[in-house]
Amino acid sequence: AAEALSRVPDVAIDGGGVFKYVLLRVRAAGGPAKDVVRGHGWAEYHADIYERTAEELAQQGLDCECLGGGRLSHRPDERKIHVYGYSVGFGRADHSVTTEKLKAKYPDYEVTWADEGY
């Protein structure tokens, strides 16, 4: 179970644009957990990302819960990602956690966050 968890990428977001994201806690049955960020432009609702990710994880024997959502502005040409906003259904994710995950994945980016804005 821990091995399956280690194969789950911490961050999976679209290559550019402004889109919704969710912060998920992924857990191996009765085992360890880790938080992951998922953000995609195809999603009309935060729940769309959550449901698709939960389905993919279930196939690997993993559970997840949504800790909240928001929006990402990903500008690869400027090497910037801005985290902001909230999810009506899931509430506001802890943007500071999301920001740390994004900084680890994109070390040469400027990653910022704000609680205001939508």
CB atoms within 10 A of CB 77: 6
For 4-30, give the DSSP string.
HHHTS-SEEE-SSEEEEEEEEEEEETT
Q: Is 105 annotated to bind ligand?
A: no
Query: Do 76 and 110 contact (CB within 8 A), yes or no?
Result: no
CA distance 106 to 104: 6
- Which positions are catalytic? 46
In this structure, the dihedral spanned by the alpha carbons of residues 34, 12, 56 and 94, taken in order and rounded to 10 degrees, is 40
Cite the annotated binding site by residue number.
20
Cite the annotated binding site for substrate by residue number.
20
